[in-house]
Amino acid sequence: MIEVECPNCHAKLKVPEQYAGRTGKCRSCGAEVSVPAAVAPATPAPPMPPPVPPPAYPPYPPARPASGGGMDALIPTKNPCALTAYYLGVFSLIPCIGLALAIPALILGIKGLSFYNQHPEAKGKAHALVGIIMGGLFTLIWGGLVLMMVLSAALHP
């Protein structure tokens, strides 16, 4: 429906769209009323903006570390020497950098073990032992390898 105002009596008239561009008679006063041909919404609607992708949800908050004894027994967070020794010992498997990791693993493992002996509640004995064993083993392996290479280079120039 098109809303037209009568120029004579200013009555608001509702005219069906099919009378657009024509003239009709005002229902209240009988005056001639011209119905506008083009009504505003005849223009095509502006193109819709591209749909905005939904906002990326922030990554899930990191899982809260379980508080309590169970987790501490597995990860000796209170014995950082033992924990570091453990990881250094494991990564001393890697050739080339292994020797650089195995020696501190051995040292930190010994420190972690003595820390455990003073503070048994801090846990980390197993981690410290892994650091000592892996660190000691790979200190020997990689150290021996380096020594052999040096000796071999010295003996066979």
Q: How far is the CB of 32 from Zn ion (least distance, A)?
A: 9
CA pair distance 134, 123, nearest whole angstrom: 19
- Told to check if 146 binds Zn ion by CB under 5 A, we report no
**19: exposed, middle or buried (Cβ count in 10 Å: 0-12, 13-18, 19+):** middle
- Told to check if 20 binds Zn ion by CB under 5 A, we report no
Cα–Cα distance list, 9 to 15, 27, 30, 69 (Å): 16, 10, 9, 88
Closer residue to Zn ion in complex, CB, 8/34: 8
Q: How many residues bind Zn ion (CB under 5 A)?
A: 8
CA pair distance 145, 99, nearest whole angstrom: 10
Residue partners of 127: CB distance under 8 A and separation at least 6: 76, 79, 82, 83, 85, 86, 112
Q: Which two tokens stand for residue 52?
A: 């905005």
Q: Mask: binding to Zn ion, 23-62, rule CB under 5 A, as x and -?
A: ---x-xx-x-------------------------------
Q: How far is the CB of 4 from Zn ion (least distance, A)?
A: 10
Span of 3-11, 86-94, 113-121, 130-138 interacting with Zn ion by CB under 5 A: 3-11
Q: What is the DSSP letter of 41?
A: G
- Told to check if 6 binds Zn ion by CB under 5 A, we report yes
- Told to check if 15 binds Zn ion by CB under 5 A, we report no
- Told to check if 103 binds Zn ion by CB under 5 A, we report no
Q: Which residues bind Zn ion (CB under 5 A)?
A: 6, 8-9, 11, 26, 28-29, 31
